[in-house]
Structure formats: structure tokens, C-alpha cells
A and B are shown apart, each in its own frame.
Chain A
């Protein structure tokens, strides 16, 4: 039972990671003068978009989403609407946090917001896919010892890694090396992506390593 779940998760993660690489390579073929530094926002949106699509597709196909009590169309629609609102709110939340961390308030607001969108895609969107728009479940998962399944643990790891990656990505900004990747927000979004990829890679490994210690309570 363990192995099946872990293998499923590993393959899901591999697909998501592959989508990030594809999102980096594809525009290079399609868009003229594309480079990760030069046309950073294009790269950022392409990564965010592809990760979003692949995430939704994978989790919809795997059917990991929480069981729904009602199966009516209006309920589903309201859920979808709530998810969108949550996503937007999380973008605003990340934007605020980044501004509090010292990003300029007015100028380059678009760049800051794009970073917030990327962060939300890597964190909130996955939460929405796995847990649904259910704040109580989110609080449970992100409080100590709150994970109840393999997917909860993987969610904890990838979210943590993405946020820490973005955090670490801010460190090279004050250095006076005059490198192209020191422009706001390139180092942070690269840090986020690398952190997310690390999270995707480590989550199955970590769970496999610690499967003896991990005892999930049944829902």
C-alpha cells in the first residue's frame, strides 16, 4: 500500500517537474529572443501556467481531491469559484508579504505580483487541488503533526521548500556583482522554482525514508 502510493506520488511529481523544464524549453523554440533573464516575465508566466495546468490535470485524473458530499453542478461551481477567490487572495497575500520584505511599493509592482503568482501556483494551487477550498483542512495540514496522508506530507514539504527557496533567493540581491540574475525578481523566482523542484524530488524520498515513523491517523 505504501509503495503504491509513493510510486504514484513520485510519478506525479516527475510529471510536474518535467512540465517546468518543458515550460523553459518550449518558449525558446516558439518565442523570438527568449531567455530566462532577458524576457523573465514570459518565462515566469509560462512556468506558472504549465505547472497550474499539469497540477490540475494530474490531481483531477488521480482523483486525490477530497470526497464531495454533494455532487450537484451548482456545488461544484461554487467550489470552483471559491477556489479562484482563494487563489487570488493568496496572490495578494504573497504580494503583501514581499512588499513588507522590502520590495518597492509602486514601481515594478507587476514584477512583484508575478512573483506572488508564481509562489501561489507552487503552494496554494496544490493545496486547492489536494485539500479543496477548506480552510480548516489547511490549518490542520500546516499545524504540527497534522498530516493525515502521504499527500499531506508532500504538500508540507513542497510548500516549505518553495517558500524557503524564495527566501534564500533574496540573499544575492545586495551583492554588487552586476549579474543579470540579480535584477528583481529574477533571483527570487529562480529560488522559488529551484526550491519547488527540490521539494518535488525530496518529498517521495523523505517519505520513503521515514515511512516507519510516519503513522497517519485515519480521517
Chain B
């Protein structure tokens, strides 16, 4: 099957998009969520089951504890208490565990064992999914139902000291707090002193109900020197002292007649043998959970602590404090805590927990009827009703007690089964879907690389041997193998994967397609192998040489791709692009210098050097008469100086833009120009700057448009300014001070009309050029149509960009114009080189406009431009458009520029789109493989996952551009026929 390069490229990108989508679906499991959006209320609680139709009570059992102190020691491994270390360094705690009135457990944390999701798990009782965290980066506050909110809602006064993650997760929940930042890992004393210094005064007071302490020091020591360091001992002793102090104070304040207090000692995650955390190794997920209260019976010796899940703490705490269990909790209560309550109360607690779990199961699993746990719970509920009836009748025989014991066991089994069924859906990578998606995009990448010589040849056509692949034996064998693996994986019991839940027809089509692709890949590889052998026999040395620029472009692309392996380089990716862009500009500058200075020296120096160059010079001279340079009214002499100054001007622009928006992580807090401009005192400067930028944009864009579009563009840009003035970002010169700030809907819609108008004119010109009889006229019209579409895009970007970002747009257009006229045309860069440069510029401008690899920098307010209220489709489109404005503008310019080449437009477009697809695929595929390998990395949530979403979105944008190129070349073909 022969495909032209552009069709081939967009085909590859589309397949890649499907692969990435499948991968993402496997990588981010869908979170289990209750369908109710509100939080649980006391009034929603189920009634106590009672057989018969007598009115049953919905009363909640009274709380078991008065005050609760939660001591969370970051990265406290279970063996730091239950192991030999605990004996040496935590004598007091160990004493309580062995002899005191306490219950000890080993609580299992779910990966990723990182503080923030673990705190969420402890408080909400749910297991936060990856996508959940990524999506909540904008508003870090926990919006889900949680114990802290419930406690606050029921009038409990909460005090918090420690890691400021809590303060960010629960804003306005604490009566009093002092957050400590965990940023400086090298500090492990100050962070803990910050917490302990409040203790004495707080413990003396009576005005609180819940005290939460989060100690960070141990975690920091782990990061610095690991779990066997000599620093661990003193730190554990210090923690032991804190526990002793709190325990003593709680006991001394225990008064007769009131409820006892509860002290909870827990940890968010453990510590691996190297001292880090985030993964799923045994020491990382095993954390101690010790509940201490005079309510509990005294222990008589060290027992092996029982295993519980970390999420079990949330329902246990909620029930013990007589609060509703949070909706999305998948935990089950810890029965030991409730041992001292009456049997009726215990059953009531279990019933409430079971009811909550069963309703969550009903919401999240369509086949909930088939779950064992659900059935068991229904049975237990019925038995419970009967038991209650007997109990109410005043039956106090031993039979009742035995029946109650049996019921208790039944409930516990049901809870366990339901909890297991729920958590199975969560926090697990769907490896099968991930692997299928990954193999698909890997095949596409290999296909792209193998097709390189053909796609960049003069024909710009790729021959994919699909037909022969369909008829070959290996294809059928592969199909068989793929199908059998699919059936095997999908029918195995534990698998719950997305790819299996697809319709069988779709899945088998994918397998069919994948095997066909593999066969044709092998065929292509074999073909090239043969050609290579022939080549090497006929010709020993290749005539394929690389210039410095080529080397830079290649090493830059490869280097950037490799740099994605380090989390810092992902966070600071903008630095990589700025650095590469600067180097590119300097390399271009060197090329320009070489061209102009060599030419001047040539006559006297070396005539016989190479006869090619003078002819090029002549060509240049002849070109100058109808080159775009002439449009600007530039003489050939000053053209040299303009060409020389273009890279320098570009460098200066880049430096300015770089300080306009500080982005990334490490230096994001530094003051930048955009803050200065937006600070209110400098509104006049901002207004002037915006007006100047809009003027520059008009001057740069209008040159190639028709008169109608010119007028529409001018009016549209005026509309943009008045929109910004209406919103209150900039000042109108004749504005009265009393004008109120509106949403500017009218102004924005005014601009939208012009954008649509310009786009319409452009498309009309493009269509008319198809039916034009004269070729020259048709080409002129077509080029004008393209530029009009481009100016429509520019106008939309101008409307969506914030006022301080308008200079970015102006600089972008300025650089495009200058580079196109003096560099790319004059220095005869080929389509591949130009494409790579466009791609680099696009990437740099993505960061220049203030984006980063963090979801938090996406400007969501763009979705409301010109809309009265939130409407999903346009809001999503506008947000995506403005976020990817930089890469999109450069891609559009690439299309316009390449099709303006006179005789080789189709060829260049083919080469360009192929290079574009390859440039996008290489980092995307590498990144997908990398993320799979690093899925237990410490920063997988905070750094790598958001970047994965950005990569996927960028691929989508690239595919859209590539499809539009494809459509254009399809036009051309119909033109030729």
C-alpha cells in the first residue's frame, strides 16, 4: 500500500493516539466514588434492623471517647516499634504495647506510599486513584467526605501541628494550626521542634477535642541516610518522649464520670531499605497503628500485632466518635476497639459500616448483586433484625448471646468481602491494557523510523507492505497467538482490565491490526536490510554528511528525550527548551555569518574553492526580486544586516519572554515581569504594552490578507483590547473611573464574529483556488487563503491570552516573520530542518506563555471568555487551544511557510508532516515506556503523571494539525487529477 508522507504521518499519529488512550486508561484506574455528591449526614444513617414493623430507632450509639490525640510520625516503619529497634529506642511505647491498655496493629498502606495520598487515605478511608490526585492539583483541598470534616461539622474543635500538607488539604478545618513545610529535607530537628514546642501549652488547655500532630523528622532522616543510620536512634527516643508526655498528660486529666480519651499512634508510610518511600516494598507499606486508651484491657505480654488496612482507621474513628462514616470509605471498623461496648452496640456499629460499604458497592459496581459480600451482608442484616426482635422482647438467654456472636462473625466476613471487592478496583495498574497500548505505539514508532528513507525521499511516498502481510503465514500465527493470550488474560479470575471489557469484536480488530503491523514491519526491515547490503557492496563511503546544525538538531532531540528520565528535568523542562533554542539561534547565527562573510571574501581569496557557491549567490540575487524581502521594501545591501541581526533579535526576544513568566518548580516563586505588570500599580504600563503588542500583531499579520480580512482583523484586535478593558485588565484612555467591571461577554462575542468571518474568508479562498483555471492565480489565492486562516487563529489566540501575555504573541509573530524571510528561505534549509526548528520554537513558546508540566498552571478561566456560564464543550476546547497556543501557532506557520514554497510545496509538506509526526512520537513513546518502568517512583504522582497527560494532549494536538495538512494535500491531489 503506497501512502504519501503526510497521509502516512497522520495515520501513524492516529494509531499512536489510540495506543496512548488505551495506555492512559490502564494507567489511571477509574476511582470508586459514591454517586451522591453531598457528604454523609447523621440523618441519612440506616435504622437499626428490626424484624416486624414496629418503629425502629435511628439513634446513633453514643461516642466511646471524649478526646482524641492523633500522633502521625512520617515514615515510621513497623519494626521501629515492634522490632528490636523499638525495644532499644522506644522503651515507653514498647511498654504500653506490651503491658498497657492498648491495641496494636500493623496497618498496610497502599502504594504509592507518598504523604499526601496517604493522609487522604487515613482521613477519607478511600484509596485515592492517580487520576484523582492529578485532577485535584488545582484545588488541593479535600472535597470528598472525610473524618476531619465530619468532626468539625459536629462541633469538635480540632488543633493541628505539623506538616503543612494537612493545612492545604483541610483549609479552615482547624481551630488552631501551625504548618511546617517539608521542603528542606536536610533539616530534621527544626521541623519536629516546631511541633513539640506547642505541646505543653496545648495539653494543659481544655478547649479542644481532637489534636493532630504530624512529625516529619524521621522521614527526613530516612531520605538523608537511610533506616540504619545513627540518627534514627535519637530521633526515635525523642518521639518516645513525646508519646510519654502526651500519654501522661492524658492520664492525669482523665476524670471520673466522663468518657475516656483515645491516643492514636500511626504513620503514613514506611521506609525502604535505602530510606526512600513511594514504592510497594514490604517495609514501605507496613506501618504501625497503636490505639491507646484506658477503655481497653491491659495487655499481658507482646502479641504478634494483627494486620489491618490503613483505610480502616477512618471508619473506626468515625464510629468511635459517633460520626457518620465518610461516603467513599472502603475501610471496615477494627473490632478490637469496640470490644468493651455492649453486643447490641457492636452489632449496630457493624451494621452501619456494612450499610455504608454496601451502598458504595452498589454505586461503583454494576454487578454488585453477584458479589459475595453483598449477599452476606443482606443475610446478616436479616438475622440482625430477628436478633433485635428477640432482644427487644427481653430475651436474655444464652442462646441470644450465642446467636449474637455468630451474627458478629457473619457481619465481619461480609465487611471483609465487600471491602476487598471495593479496593480491588482501586490503586492497581491495569497492566494488560498498558502493555497493549504500549506495544501499539512502539510498533508505530518503529514503523515511522523504518519509513524514514522513503518518507524523506524525493517521492515522499511510503510503501507499507500490508497486502502481503495479510496473506503471510506469520500473520495468522500471530493473530492466533494474540487472541489466545487475550482470552487467557481476560478469563483469568483476578483480572479486571479495560481492554477485556471492550467488545470482543473491537479487541480482536486491534489484535488483527497489531499483528498485521508487526508483519509489515518485519517485511520492511528485511527490505532495508537487503538494500543496505547492496549499498555497502556497491559503494563504500556514503556521501551523507551532517552540518553542525544537523548535529545540533539531532543531539538536541535525543538529549531532550533522554532528559525526561529525570524528575528534575521534567519539572524544569522549559530550561531544556530555552537552552536548546538559544544554542539553535547561535548556530543559525554562525551559518548566517558564514554565508555573508564568506561571500564577501570569495573574489580575492579562492575562486576554485567550490564552483557551486557563486551560482547560489546568483540565484539569491535573482530571487531577491520576487522574494518576500522585497515586500518589506528592503534593499539587498541592508538585507544582509537584517539577516545578521535576526538571530540576535530572536535571542533578545527569548530572553525577555523568559523573564516574563517564571515557570517550573524550583524557581517558580521568583518575581517575574508578569507579576510586576499585574500588580495594579502598573496598569498603565500594562495597557500601553498590550496596545503596542496588538498594533505589532496587526502590522505583522495583515500583510498577506485581503482587504476585507484586514479590516476584520483590525476591528477584531480593537475588540480584544476593549474586552480586556471591560474585564478590568487594562485601561481605556477615555474610560471613566466609575465604570464597573463586567464579564465582557459582549466584547468577546464581537471578536468571535470577526474570527469566524476571517476563517470563513480564508476557507472560501482555499476552496476557490481549487476551481481556478490559471495555476499562478490559483496558487496566489491558495496562499492568501492559508494566511487568512492563520490570521484567524492569531486573532483567537490574542483574545484568549491574558493581557500580560500579548507580548509573547507579538514576539512569536515577529520571530516567525523575520526567520521566514531572512533565514529559512535565504539559507536554503530543507523541509526537515525547518520543521525541527519550528517544533523547538513551538515547545519553547509553550513554556514562554507560562505553562509548565504541572496541571496547576493550566489557565481554566479561558474557558469562560465570551460565555455567560460554564458550557463544557467550548470551555474545554478554548482551554486546550490557549494552553497549546504556542505549538499550534508554530505548526500553523509551518504549514503556511512550507506551502508557500513555489515548486516543491507538496513535497515539503509531506516531509514536514512526517518529521512532525516523528518528532512527536519519539518523546511520547519514550515517555510512556519510562512511566511504565517508573510506576513505583516516589514522584510518579506529582511529576511524571501530569507530564504524561501533557504528552498525550500534545500528541492529540499534533494529530489534529497533521490531519489538516493531510486534508490540504488531498485537495492538491484532487487538483492534479
Contact = CB atoms under 8 A, between A and B. Distances in A.
Contacts of B572: 174
B566 A175 contact: yes
Contacts of B88: none
Interface string B550-587: 00000000000000001011011001101100110010
Given A102-B575, A144-B594, A175 B654 contact: no
A159 to B, nearest CB: 13
A143 B594 contact: yes
Contacts, number: 42
Contacts of B598: 143
Contact of B569 (A100, A102, A175): A175
Nearest to B586: A97
A170 interface: yes
B937 to A, nearest CB: 14
A174 B583 CA distance: 17
A100 B582 contact: yes
A176 B566 CA distance: 10
A182 to B, nearest CB: 11
B651 interface: yes
B297 interface: no
A57 to B, nearest CB: 32
Given A144-B594, A174-B572, A175-B566, A101 B186 contact: no
Given A100-B652, A102-B579, A167-B583, A174 B666 contact: yes
B655 interface: yes
A127 to B, nearest CB: 16
A176 B575 contact: no
Contact of A175 (B568, B578, B582, B659): B568
A99 interface: yes
Contacts of A30: none
A139 interface: yes
A176 B579 contact: no
B193 to A, nearest CB: 22
Contacts of A178: 186
B597 interface: yes
Interface in A88-132: 97, 99-102, 105
Contacts of A100: 582, 651-652, 654-655
Nearest to B605: A140
B710 interface: no
A216 to B, nearest CB: 14
A139 B578 contact: no
B582 A101 contact: yes
A11 to B, nearest CB: 31
B658 interface: yes
Contacts of B666: 174, 176
Given A97-B586, A102-B578, A144-B594, A174 B568 contact: yes
A174 B569 contact: yes
Contacts of B594: 143-144
A99 B575 contact: no
* Most-contacted residue by chain B among A102, A139, A144, A174 (CB, 10 A): A174
Q: Is the interface of A mostly helix, strand, loop or mixed?
A: loop
A97 B583 CA distance: 10
Contacts of B575: 102, 173-174
Interface residues on A, range: 10 to 19
Interface string A172-199: 0111111000000000000000000000
For chain B, give the interface size range: 20 to 34
A100 B658 CA distance: 10
A178 B571 CA distance: 15
Contacts of A101: 578-579, 582
A143 B655 CA distance: 28
Contacts of A174: 568-569, 571-572, 575-576, 664, 666
A100 B651 CA distance: 7
A173 B568 CA distance: 10
Nearest to A175: B568
Nearest to B652: A100
Contacts of B658: 102
B613 to A, nearest CB: 12
Given A167-B583, A174-B575, A175-B566, A139 B651 contact: no
Contacts of B655: 99-100, 102
Contacts of B583: 167
Nearest to B559: A171
Nearest to B665: A176
Contacts of A105: 659
Nearest to B654: A100
A167 B654 CA distance: 18
Nearest to B659: A105
Contacts of A144: 594
A107 to B, nearest CB: 10
Nearest to B590: A142
A100 B578 CA distance: 10
Most buried by B among A99, A101, A175: A101
Interface in A136-187: 139, 143-144, 167, 170, 173-178
A178 B655 CA distance: 26
B186 A170 contact: no
- The listed residue with most A CB atoms (<10 A of its CB), out of B579, B598, B658, is B579
B182 to A, nearest CB: 14
A178 B666 CA distance: 11
Interface string A24-43: 00000000000000000000
A104 to B, nearest CB: 9
B390 to A, nearest CB: 66
A143 B599 CA distance: 12
A163 to B, nearest CB: 10
A176 B568 contact: yes
B180 to A, nearest CB: 19
A174 B853 CA distance: 14
Contacts of B186: 178
A194 to B, nearest CB: 19
A23 B586 CA distance: 32
Contacts of B568: 174-177
A170 B579 contact: yes
A177 B597 CA distance: 45
Contacts of B578: 101-102
Nearest to B566: A175
Interface string B645-660: 0000001101100110
Nearest to B185: A178
Contacts of A102: 575, 578-579, 582, 655, 658
Interface of A: 97, 99-102, 105, 139, 143-144, 167, 170, 173-178
21 contacts: A100-B655, A101-B582, A102-B578, A102-B582, A102-B655, A102-B658, A105-B659, A139-B597, A143-B597, A167-B583, A170-B579, A174-B569, A174-B571, A174-B572, A174-B575, A174-B576, A174-B664, A175-B568, A175-B569, A176-B568, A178-B186
Given A100-B582, A174-B666, 17 more contacts: A97-B586, A100-B651, A100-B652, A100-B654, A101-B578, A101-B579, A102-B575, A102-B579, A105-B659, A143-B597, A170-B579, A173-B575, A174-B572, A175-B566, A175-B568, A175-B569, A176-B571
10 nearest A-B residue pairs (beta carbon): A174-B572, A175-B568, A100-B651, A176-B568, A174-B575, A100-B655, A101-B582, A174-B568, A139-B597, A102-B578
